[in-house]
C-alpha cells in the first residue's frame, strides 16, 4: 500500500474538487509510465493531504490511460477538469 507518490515522479496535473478537500495528482515516472493518486484533506489531519485510493503503484502506458483510470476512481474528477478548462478559456 503506497503512502504517497514517489519523489522520482513528476506530477504534471493536480486537480482539486470544488470543496478543496479532495485532489487527484497525475504523474509520470522516470521509466516513462504514468500513474495517479487520489488524496483527501481533513481538518483532523491539520489540512495534510492523505492518500485514499492507494493507486500510485499502478503503471499505465499513457497519460490518457492514467487519466481514464483516475476518472473511474474519483467520480468528481471529470467535472472538475471541465471547470478548470473552462476557466482557462474565459476572458479575464
* pLDDT tens digits for range 25-76: 999 999 999 999 999 998 887 878 999 988 999 999 999 999 999 999 999 9
In a domain, 37, yes or no: yes
Number of domains composing the chain: 1
pTM: 0.85
pLDDT at res. 92? 42
Burial (Cβ within 10 Å: 0-12, 13-18, ≥19) of residue 70: buried
pLDDT at res. 88? 56
Residue-number span of the structural domain to which 27 is assigned = 10-74
Report the candidate in 51, 85, 65, 63 with the shortest Cα–Cα distance to residue 10.
63
In a domain, 4, yes or no: no
All cell numbers assigned to 58: 499502478
- The residues, ordered by sequence, that sit 6+ positions from 73 with a Cβ below 8 Å of its Cβ are 24, 36, 38, 53, 55
In a domain, 92, yes or no: no
Chain centre to alpha carbon of residue 29: 14
Could you read off the pLDDT of 2-23 as tens digits, one per residue? 457 999 999 999 999 999 999 9
In a domain, 84, yes or no: no
In a domain, 52, yes or no: yes
Amino acid at each position: 500500500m503506497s503512502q504517497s507518490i514517489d519523489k522520482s515522479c513528476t506530477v504534471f496535473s493536480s486537480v482539486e474538487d470544488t470543496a478543496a478537500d479532495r485532489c487527484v495528482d497525475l504523474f509520470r515516472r522516470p521509466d516513462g509510465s504514468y500513474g495517479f493518486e487520489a488524496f483527501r484533506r481533513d481538518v483532523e489531519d491539520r489540512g495534510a493531504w492523505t492518500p485514499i485510493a492507494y493507486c500510485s503503484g499502478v503503471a499505465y502506458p499513457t497519460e490518457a490511460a492514467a487519466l481514464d483510470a483516475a476518472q473511474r476512481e474519483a467520480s468528481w474528477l471529470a467535472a472538475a477538469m471541465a471547470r478548470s478548462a473552462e476557466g482557462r478559456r474565459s476572458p479575464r
